[in-house]
Structure 1
Amino acid sequence: MTMQHFSDSELLTSMARGDEAAFTEIYHRYWQQLLAIAWKHTYDESSAKEIVQEVLIKLWDRRESLEIRELSHYLATAIKFSVFKHYHQQQRRKNILHSIFRSTHNADEEKIYARLLDDYINGIVEKLPEKCRQVYKLSRVEGKSNQQIAGAMNISEKTAEAHLTKALRTIRLNLRHINMLFFI
Protein backbone atom coordinates (compact mmCIF):
# COMPACT_ATOMS: atom_id res chain seq x y z
CA MET A 1 0.00 0.00 0.00
CA THR A 2 1.35 3.44 -0.95
CA MET A 3 1.33 6.40 1.42
CA GLN A 4 -1.26 8.20 -0.75
CA HIS A 5 -3.99 6.09 0.83
CA PHE A 6 -3.03 6.95 4.41
CA SER A 7 -5.00 9.52 6.35
CA ASP A 8 -3.28 12.62 7.71
CA SER A 9 -3.29 11.21 11.24
CA GLU A 10 -1.70 7.96 10.02
CA LEU A 11 0.94 9.95 8.15
CA LEU A 12 1.65 12.04 11.26
CA THR A 13 2.03 8.91 13.39
CA SER A 14 4.42 7.37 10.86
CA MET A 15 6.33 10.61 10.47
CA ALA A 16 6.70 10.92 14.28
CA ARG A 17 8.53 7.58 14.21
CA GLY A 18 10.93 8.95 11.57
CA ASP A 19 9.25 7.61 8.43
CA GLU A 20 10.57 9.86 5.65
CA ALA A 21 8.07 8.45 3.15
CA ALA A 22 5.22 9.73 5.35
CA PHE A 23 6.80 13.18 5.44
CA THR A 24 7.27 13.11 1.66
CA GLU A 25 3.58 12.28 1.22
CA ILE A 26 2.58 15.20 3.49
CA TYR A 27 4.93 17.41 1.48
CA HIS A 28 3.35 16.42 -1.85
CA ARG A 29 -0.19 16.46 -0.47
CA TYR A 30 0.00 20.01 0.93
CA TRP A 31 2.70 21.79 -1.07
CA GLN A 32 0.41 23.54 -3.59
CA GLN A 33 -2.18 24.52 -0.98
CA LEU A 34 0.48 25.97 1.34
CA LEU A 35 2.18 27.78 -1.52
CA ALA A 36 -1.14 29.38 -2.50
CA ILE A 37 -1.71 30.61 1.07
CA ALA A 38 1.82 32.01 1.34
CA TRP A 39 1.63 33.66 -2.09
CA LYS A 40 -1.75 35.21 -1.25
CA HIS A 41 -0.06 37.05 1.64
CA THR A 42 3.33 37.84 0.08
CA TYR A 43 2.62 38.24 -3.65
CA ASP A 44 6.16 36.99 -4.16
CA GLU A 45 6.79 33.47 -5.42
CA SER A 46 10.31 33.07 -4.03
CA SER A 47 9.27 34.35 -0.59
CA ALA A 48 6.21 32.09 -0.64
CA LYS A 49 8.33 29.04 -1.52
CA GLU A 50 10.84 29.93 1.19
CA ILE A 51 8.05 30.21 3.77
CA VAL A 52 6.52 26.86 2.78
CA GLN A 53 9.93 25.18 2.92
CA GLU A 54 10.55 26.68 6.36
CA VAL A 55 7.20 25.42 7.71
CA LEU A 56 7.70 21.92 6.31
CA ILE A 57 11.26 21.71 7.65
CA LYS A 58 10.01 22.73 11.10
CA LEU A 59 7.28 20.09 10.84
CA TRP A 60 9.94 17.43 10.22
CA ASP A 61 12.31 18.77 12.88
CA ARG A 62 9.56 18.80 15.54
CA ARG A 63 7.82 15.61 14.40
CA GLU A 64 8.38 13.74 17.67
CA SER A 65 6.96 16.45 19.93
CA LEU A 66 4.05 17.79 17.88
CA GLU A 67 0.46 17.01 18.81
CA ILE A 68 -1.59 17.88 15.75
CA ARG A 69 -5.33 17.23 15.54
CA GLU A 70 -5.98 18.56 12.04
CA LEU A 71 -2.90 18.70 9.80
CA SER A 72 -4.35 21.04 7.16
CA HIS A 73 -5.38 23.61 9.81
CA TYR A 74 -2.04 23.30 11.58
CA LEU A 75 -0.08 23.86 8.36
CA ALA A 76 -2.26 26.78 7.22
CA THR A 77 -1.83 28.48 10.61
CA ALA A 78 1.92 27.82 10.57
CA ILE A 79 2.13 29.40 7.10
CA LYS A 80 0.28 32.50 8.30
CA PHE A 81 2.59 32.88 11.30
CA SER A 82 5.62 32.42 9.06
CA VAL A 83 4.30 35.05 6.64
CA PHE A 84 3.87 37.43 9.56
CA LYS A 85 7.42 36.69 10.76
CA HIS A 86 8.77 37.07 7.22
CA TYR A 87 6.97 40.42 6.84
CA HIS A 88 8.49 41.75 10.07
CA GLN A 89 11.96 40.59 9.04
CA GLN A 90 11.55 42.34 5.70
CA GLN A 91 10.37 45.52 7.43
CA ARG A 92 13.34 45.40 9.81
CA ARG A 93 15.73 44.96 6.86
CA LYS A 94 14.11 47.85 5.00
CA ASN A 95 14.30 50.07 8.08
CA ILE A 96 17.96 49.21 8.60
CA LEU A 97 18.79 49.82 4.94
CA HIS A 98 16.83 53.08 4.96
CA SER A 99 18.65 54.17 8.11
CA ILE A 100 22.03 53.30 6.60
CA PHE A 101 21.16 55.09 3.35
CA ARG A 102 19.86 58.14 5.20
CA SER A 103 22.96 58.39 7.42
CA THR A 104 25.26 57.84 4.43
CA HIS A 105 23.31 60.38 2.40
CA ASN A 106 23.41 62.91 5.27
CA ALA A 107 27.13 62.27 5.78
CA ASP A 108 27.76 62.85 2.07
CA GLU A 109 25.74 66.07 2.14
CA GLU A 110 27.63 67.21 5.21
CA LYS A 111 30.96 66.47 3.54
CA ILE A 112 29.94 68.45 0.46
CA TYR A 113 28.65 71.32 2.59
CA ALA A 114 31.82 71.31 4.72
CA ARG A 115 33.97 71.31 1.59
CA LEU A 116 32.04 74.24 0.09
CA LEU A 117 32.26 76.15 3.36
CA ASP A 118 35.98 75.43 3.62
CA ASP A 119 36.52 76.65 0.04
CA TYR A 120 34.50 79.78 0.76
CA ILE A 121 36.47 80.54 3.93
CA ASN A 122 39.77 79.93 2.11
CA GLY A 123 38.66 82.45 -0.52
CA ILE A 124 38.00 85.03 2.21
CA VAL A 125 41.35 84.28 3.88
CA GLU A 126 43.22 84.78 0.59
CA LYS A 127 41.75 88.31 0.34
CA LEU A 128 42.99 89.28 3.83
CA PRO A 129 46.02 91.54 4.21
CA GLU A 130 49.26 89.54 4.13
CA LYS A 131 50.15 89.65 7.86
CA CYS A 132 46.54 88.97 8.85
CA ARG A 133 46.41 85.98 6.47
CA GLN A 134 49.72 84.59 7.78
CA VAL A 135 48.59 84.85 11.41
CA TYR A 136 45.25 83.18 10.61
CA LYS A 137 46.92 80.27 8.79
CA LEU A 138 49.49 79.77 11.55
CA SER A 139 46.72 79.77 14.15
CA ARG A 140 43.90 77.87 12.47
CA VAL A 141 45.69 75.68 9.94
CA GLU A 142 48.89 74.86 11.82
CA GLY A 143 47.38 75.14 15.31
CA LYS A 144 50.01 77.46 16.77
CA SER A 145 49.43 79.67 19.81
CA ASN A 146 49.66 83.46 19.70
CA GLN A 147 53.01 83.24 21.50
CA GLN A 148 54.39 80.80 18.88
CA ILE A 149 53.05 82.98 16.05
CA ALA A 150 54.64 86.09 17.56
CA GLY A 151 57.99 84.29 17.77
CA ALA A 152 57.77 82.92 14.22
CA MET A 153 56.77 86.25 12.66
CA ASN A 154 58.95 88.41 14.90
CA ILE A 155 55.97 90.47 16.14
CA SER A 156 54.51 91.03 19.60
CA GLU A 157 51.97 88.61 21.00
CA LYS A 158 49.38 91.45 21.13
CA THR A 159 49.96 92.17 17.43
CA ALA A 160 49.47 88.50 16.58
CA GLU A 161 46.26 88.52 18.61
CA ALA A 162 45.06 91.70 16.85
CA HIS A 163 45.72 90.21 13.39
CA LEU A 164 43.88 87.01 14.32
CA THR A 165 40.93 88.99 15.72
CA LYS A 166 40.74 91.04 12.51
CA ALA A 167 40.87 87.87 10.36
CA LEU A 168 38.13 86.15 12.35
CA ARG A 169 35.92 89.26 12.30
CA THR A 170 36.30 89.54 8.51
CA ILE A 171 35.43 85.86 8.04
CA ARG A 172 32.38 86.11 10.33
CA LEU A 173 31.09 89.20 8.52
CA ASN A 174 31.42 87.47 5.16
CA LEU A 175 29.69 84.36 6.47
CA ARG A 176 26.78 86.46 7.73
CA HIS A 177 26.27 87.74 4.21
CA ILE A 178 25.61 84.22 3.04
CA ASN A 179 23.59 83.28 6.13
CA MET A 180 26.17 80.84 7.41
CA LEU A 181 27.29 82.22 10.75
CA PHE A 182 29.64 79.74 12.30
CA PHE A 183 31.84 80.12 15.28
CA ILE A 184 35.38 79.78 14.05
Structure 2
Amino acid sequence: MEPEKSVYSYFSDTMLLTHLKQGDHQAFAEIFDRYWKKIYNEAYKRLKNTELVETVVQEVYVNLWKEKGNEQIRHILPYLLSSMRSQVLKLYREGKAGPFFEKGLNYIMLTSIHNGVN
Protein backbone atom coordinates (compact mmCIF):
# COMPACT_ATOMS: atom_id res chain seq x y z
CA MET A 1 0.00 0.00 0.00
CA GLU A 2 1.38 3.39 -1.04
CA PRO A 3 1.73 6.02 1.70
CA GLU A 4 -0.83 8.82 1.60
CA LYS A 5 0.44 11.93 -0.17
CA SER A 6 0.46 15.27 1.54
CA VAL A 7 -1.62 18.03 0.00
CA TYR A 8 1.70 19.87 -0.42
CA SER A 9 2.86 17.26 -2.93
CA TYR A 10 0.28 18.70 -5.33
CA PHE A 11 1.51 22.28 -4.90
CA SER A 12 3.48 23.97 -7.64
CA ASP A 13 6.94 25.28 -6.77
CA THR A 14 5.49 28.79 -6.75
CA MET A 15 2.86 27.79 -4.19
CA LEU A 16 5.48 26.02 -2.08
CA LEU A 17 7.69 29.09 -2.18
CA THR A 18 4.80 31.31 -1.09
CA HIS A 19 4.11 29.04 1.87
CA LEU A 20 7.81 28.72 2.69
CA LYS A 21 8.16 32.51 2.86
CA GLN A 22 5.41 32.45 5.50
CA GLY A 23 7.45 30.01 7.60
CA ASP A 24 5.44 26.91 6.69
CA HIS A 25 7.40 23.84 7.85
CA GLN A 26 5.34 21.45 5.71
CA ALA A 27 6.16 23.45 2.57
CA PHE A 28 9.84 23.24 3.53
CA ALA A 29 9.51 19.46 4.03
CA GLU A 30 7.90 19.09 0.60
CA ILE A 31 10.68 21.12 -1.05
CA PHE A 32 13.22 18.89 0.67
CA ASP A 33 11.43 15.70 -0.42
CA ARG A 34 11.04 16.99 -3.96
CA TYR A 35 14.62 18.09 -4.57
CA TRP A 36 17.10 16.54 -2.13
CA LYS A 37 18.07 13.70 -4.50
CA LYS A 38 18.76 16.14 -7.35
CA ILE A 39 20.90 18.35 -5.08
CA TYR A 40 22.68 15.29 -3.65
CA ASN A 41 23.47 13.88 -7.11
CA GLU A 42 24.72 17.21 -8.47
CA ALA A 43 26.96 17.68 -5.43
CA TYR A 44 28.24 14.10 -5.69
CA LYS A 45 29.27 14.67 -9.32
CA ARG A 46 31.53 17.45 -8.09
CA LEU A 47 32.84 15.99 -4.81
CA LYS A 48 32.79 12.17 -5.05
CA ASN A 49 32.66 12.04 -1.24
CA THR A 50 29.37 11.05 0.43
CA GLU A 51 30.25 12.65 3.76
CA LEU A 52 31.01 16.02 2.14
CA VAL A 53 27.94 15.73 -0.08
CA GLU A 54 25.68 15.14 2.91
CA THR A 55 27.15 18.22 4.57
CA VAL A 56 26.57 20.27 1.42
CA VAL A 57 22.93 19.14 1.14
CA GLN A 58 22.35 19.95 4.79
CA GLU A 59 23.86 23.43 4.37
CA VAL A 60 21.79 24.08 1.25
CA TYR A 61 18.57 23.41 3.15
CA VAL A 62 19.67 25.25 6.29
CA ASN A 63 20.41 28.27 4.11
CA LEU A 64 17.05 27.94 2.35
CA TRP A 65 15.27 28.09 5.70
CA LYS A 66 17.38 31.04 6.87
CA GLU A 67 16.81 32.91 3.60
CA LYS A 68 13.15 31.95 3.17
CA GLY A 69 12.01 35.57 3.39
CA ASN A 70 14.49 36.75 0.75
CA GLU A 71 12.53 38.30 -2.10
CA GLN A 72 15.28 37.37 -4.57
CA ILE A 73 14.33 33.68 -4.28
CA ARG A 74 11.85 33.30 -7.13
CA HIS A 75 12.45 29.73 -8.31
CA ILE A 76 13.22 26.91 -5.92
CA LEU A 77 15.39 24.52 -7.96
CA PRO A 78 17.69 27.17 -9.46
CA TYR A 79 18.15 28.65 -5.98
CA LEU A 80 18.98 25.22 -4.50
CA LEU A 81 21.43 24.41 -7.30
CA SER A 82 23.12 27.79 -6.97
CA SER A 83 23.39 27.33 -3.22
CA MET A 84 24.85 23.83 -3.75
CA ARG A 85 27.47 25.18 -6.17
CA SER A 86 28.42 27.89 -3.67
CA GLN A 87 28.89 25.27 -0.94
CA VAL A 88 31.01 23.09 -3.24
CA LEU A 89 33.18 26.06 -4.26
CA LYS A 90 33.62 26.93 -0.58
CA LEU A 91 34.95 23.40 0.02
CA TYR A 92 37.32 23.76 -2.94
CA ARG A 93 38.66 27.08 -1.61
CA GLU A 94 39.12 25.60 1.87
CA GLY A 95 41.06 22.70 0.36
CA LYS A 96 38.59 20.12 1.70
CA ALA A 97 37.75 18.85 -1.77
CA GLY A 98 39.12 18.99 -5.27
CA PRO A 99 37.22 19.62 -8.48
CA PHE A 100 37.18 16.14 -10.01
CA PHE A 101 35.68 17.28 -13.29
CA GLU A 102 38.69 19.54 -13.94
CA LYS A 103 41.10 16.61 -13.64
CA GLY A 104 39.40 14.92 -16.55
CA LEU A 105 39.51 18.05 -18.69
CA ASN A 106 43.19 18.62 -17.94
CA TYR A 107 43.96 15.03 -18.90
CA ILE A 108 42.05 15.37 -22.18
CA MET A 109 43.81 18.65 -22.97
CA LEU A 110 47.27 17.24 -22.25
CA THR A 111 46.54 14.09 -24.24
CA SER A 112 45.33 16.17 -27.18
CA ILE A 113 48.42 18.39 -27.12
CA HIS A 114 50.70 15.35 -26.88
CA ASN A 115 48.96 13.66 -29.81
CA GLY A 116 48.96 16.81 -31.94
CA VAL A 117 45.18 17.22 -31.84
CA ASN A 118 43.89 20.80 -31.80
Q: Is 1:16 matched up with 2:21?
A: yes
TM-score when normalising by structure 2? 0.72
Q: CA deviation at 1:87?
A: 1.5
Q: CA deviation at 1:78?
A: 1.2
Distance in 2, matches of 1:84 and 1:66, equals: 24
Residue in structure 2 matched with residue 61 of structure 1 by the alignment: 66
Q: CA deviation at 1:70?
A: 2.1
Aligned residue among 50, 55, 58 for 2:55: 50
Distance in 1, matches of 2:25 and 2:72, equals: 18
Tell me which amino acid in the other structure corresponds to 1:39. Answer: Y
Between the two proteins, the alignment pairs up a number of residues equal to 91
Q: CA deviation at 1:64?
A: 1.2
Residue in structure 1 matched with residue 41 of structure 2 by the alignment: 36
RCO higher in 1 or 2 (8 Å CA, sep ≥ 6)? 2
Distance in 1, matches of 2:58 and 2:33, equals: 12
TM-score when normalising by structure 1? 0.47
Residue in structure 1 matched with residue 82 of structure 2 by the alignment: 77
Residue in structure 2 matched with residue 174 of structure 1 by the alignment: none
Residue in structure 1 matched with residue 114 of structure 2 by the alignment: none
Larger Rg: 1
Provide Cα deviations, 1:21-49, integer angstroms capped at 9, x if missing partner. 00000001000000001000000011011
Q: CA deviation at 1:67?
A: 2.4
Please state which structure has a larger fraction of its residues in helix.
1
Query: Any gaps of 5 or more consecutive residues in structure 1?
Result: 92-184
| Matched-pair identity in % | 33
Q: CA deviation at 1:86?
A: 1.3
Provide Cα deviations, 1:3-61, integer angstroms capped at 9, x if missing partner. 00001111111011110000000001000000001000000011011001101100001
Residue in structure 1 matched with residue 12 of structure 2 by the alignment: 7
Alpha-carbon RMSD: 1.3
Tell me which amino acid in the other structure corresponds to 2:50. Answer: E
Tell me which amino acid in the other structure corresponds to 1:31. Answer: W
Distance in 2, matches of 1:66 and 1:54, equals: 20
